[in-house]
Amino acid sequence: MSAIVRLQNVSRSFGTKVAVSSLDLEVKAGSIHGFLGPNGSGKTTTLRMITGLMQPDSGTVEVFGKEGGAGASPAMGYLPEERGLYRGMTVLGILEFFARLKGMHNPRRAILDWLDRLDLAGAGPLRVEALSKGMAQRVQFIAAIIHSPKLAVLDEPFSGLDPVHAGQLMRAVRELRDAGTTIILSTHDLTVAQRLCTHLFMIHHGRKVLDGSLEDTLARHGCTTVRVTPRDIASPWPGCTGVANATRDGTDWELRLEPDADANSVVRELMRQFPLTAFTTGSASLSDIFFRLVGVREGESVGQGT
């Protein structure tokens, strides 16, 4: 697959605050690329540079093989972090307005189809000011992708959606990808990211800390975990081959295994060293990996910024 988006050694500062530092990134055609990171990590700044709304201080941003970001290209659709719909217009009117801005001459049928797919079939005559937050979010999503863009850049598209409508939007994103649109999206919902994205890009304090396919990420970072309950809860940790980290959690020990370690072998060795009353095994989730890499649980903030 060819790269639709390529960032090379990109940096951007605001005064003395470094928002993005020396980022390299390639987004392949046909992927759903998830941008992850705590609040203030530089996600929105990076997305704005990709869209051409902001230029880097140094480095290059190429979109569709051209330097400078996507700009006003009709081949791109953009859902910004700051939502902005004209409150006095009807849903149908504003979607037709955005569709014509993107070069569509007869957008009515496509608009009605998208309204129906996102549970908004009766919303066409409503004024934007009468919409709930979740309805407005879905309308703005439609406005961003109504023209079937080659690239869709979606900044927090699931914000404000209940689980039912978030599920509908996930299906819509997959359908867009299947129809030929490459997707870049940021999200704080790591469960959504794990279910939806084909590739992940994580930044922290403006620097890349993870970049790869979902499959490779889970294989490389999502190592097996083991939770054991010793019979003598006062027993100190004895040490064990194959255990990268051991953390006391109440009466239990939570163990993170090394990538090549076998959970059954670890448990057998532990049982030779001290008696166990229980043990469980599992694999680390994307949320576990996120916390391990940036030290913040999903949804927590590490500072102000973009």
pTM: 0.79
Does the residue 143 lie in any domain? yes
Question: Of the candidates 219, 234, 268, which is a domain's last residue?
Answer: 219
pLDDT at 267: 82
pLDDT, tens digit, 9 for 90 and up, residues 104-133? 999 999 999 999 999 999 999 999 999 999
Exposure string over 145-161, b if 16+ CB within 10 A, otherwise e: bbbebbbbbbbbbbbbb
Q: Write down which residue in 219, 235, 258 finishes a domain.
A: 219
**Above 70 in pLDDT, residue 301?**
no
The answer to whether residue 82 sits within a structural domain is yes
| pLDDT tens digits, 204-220 | 999 999 898 988 887 77
- The residues that bridge with 210 in the sheet, in sequence order, are 202
**Number of domains observed in the structure of the chain:** 2
- Model confidence pLDDT, tens digit, residues 222-246: 667 778 887 776 777 778 888 877 8
Task: Encode 234-258: b = buried (16+ Cβ within 10 Å), e = exposed.
Answer: eeeeeebebbeeeeeeeebbebbbe
Q: CATH code at 185?
A: 3.40.50.300
pLDDT at 162: 92
Regarding whether 85 and 7 lie in a shared domain, the answer is yes
- Residue 274 structural domain: 223-283
Q: Do 256 and 143 sit in the same domain of this protein?
A: no
Residue 306 has what pLDDT?
A: 56
Q: Which of 200, 219, 238 is the last residue of a domain?
A: 219
Q: What is the pLDDT of residue 62?
A: 94
